[in-house]
Structure 1
Amino acid sequence: MEQFFFSNWTSIARTLVIGMAAYAGLIVLLRLSGKRTLTKMNAFDLIVTVALGSTLATVLLNKSVPLADGLTAFALLIFLQYALTWLSVRSKTVSKLIKSEPTLLVYQGAFLSAALKAERVTEAEILAGLREQGVASLADAAAVVLETGGDLSILKNTSDGPQSVLQDVPLKQK
């Protein structure tokens, strides 16, 4: 039963040393790769983030995985993330493969029912988002957009209208 709670001090020392070194290595690699590596997450970014966390846990707790192997895995994941985002900025085809497009959920004060169903968003969630932004009425919403990261963008009615910022959002009617 003693092994269940404590094996030996060497194991704890290894976890501390490898943990600090792996964490420092991960920080350095993330800083070298730039701000885009862990930005607001789309599905692809989430996968990379989870993979980095899993790799860190494996390096920390699995004595058969050397620190150098863990750092190599970090570097590989970050390089792949960097390469794919680099390609997505330069190729619309690659960008469409890895990123979703924003979806219009409310337009000119009216719910777009088909879009709400397709994106699995309820009218109550939209109304809550409107309240959070201080919009008192659905009629005061020029548009509500479900962004690629899952956030709702609320555009209030103005004299100029919402068209300028909606140029990349496909308009799909009810």
Structure 2
Amino acid sequence: MGDGARVEARVVATYRRALGFGPIVVSRDLARAHTTTGLDSAILARPADLGPLLARWPGVAVGESTDGPQAGEASAQSLVNLAVLGVLLAYVLVAVANRLVATTTGRREELDGLRRLGATPRQLRRMLRVEAAMIGAGASVAGIVLAAVPLVLLSIGFLAGPLPAGPYWPVPALVLVVGLIVWLAVELPGRATRRVG
């Protein structure tokens, strides 16, 4: 147990989906005997159940959430993981943007040739923007598919359904970020190349 005591417990059930629990769930009475205060640190209850609970334990303070990870608050380790992922994502985006800038800048002769064949600056701008849109859409679709496969498999294993838990707003936000970076990495050097030519 948490206080170092060894106990013999009888297994009454096993479960495969441990989301929201730990690898082992013990009875309240067994766990209480091995704590310093013998009291529960938190009780998660539905609003409809608060009346009987407050009547049973007068003086109990009711809060919106607890400090435990089961209440959805991020731990320090998860914040570190998110920061590392953010740095890696920024590095990848900078590398891709640099490659797009170099590729667009290297197309100066191609753009000059199209201009000599009669293409107007407006047509060249539209061509570069369509290419940027195709690159951004392809990158976004590939990223969503590559991320969706493991998320769906984990959701089936933990949640018994294909839809992952959590907010969905990062998906359109990342698509917008990718689209903006691709557009800037193609549009700005394209303008400079057309001016120099």
Shorter-normalised TM range: under 0.3
Greater relative contact order (Cα < 8 A, sep 6+): 2
Higher strand share: 1
After TM superposition, the score normalised by the length of structure 1 is 0.26
Q: Which has the larger radius of gyration?
A: 2
After TM superposition, the score normalised by the length of structure 2 is 0.23
